[in-house]
Amino acid sequence: MNTMSVDVTTVRSATSVAGARDSARTFLDGLDHPIAAEAADSIEVAVHDHSPQAPRMRTPDLNNGTGGFGWPMVNRLAQTTAVTHQATGGKTVTALLTR
């Protein structure tokens, strides 16, 4: 299996569409030697934040914008997921996405 893994640190919160687009561009610009899309069987995505609270399934909040969409979507799309608590605080959430 050919897997591509890149660590990315968020500089600012990507709570808006424009912020998400800028974060994606920054990520893509930071790739040194990307492998060809045809060669990739999967991609591993890892996200770190400073909250010690693990993600959880909950009913999405359709009115107040407090979330509830991300973790169910990640679990639906990913082959595997993992939550690792860091000794320095916070956690890293990792998902393996296959073609």
pLDDT in tens, 42-87: 888 999 999 999 999 999 888 888 888 889 999 999 999 999 999 9
Question: pTM for this structure?
Answer: 0.60
More confident residue, 40 or 81: 81
Does residue 8 contact residue 30 with C-beta atoms inside 8 Å?
A: yes
Mean pLDDT of 17-32: 77
Specify the pLDDT at position 83.
Answer: 96
The proportion of the chain whose per-residue pLDDT surpasses 70, expressed as a percent, equals: 80
The pLDDT value recorded for residue 40 is 75
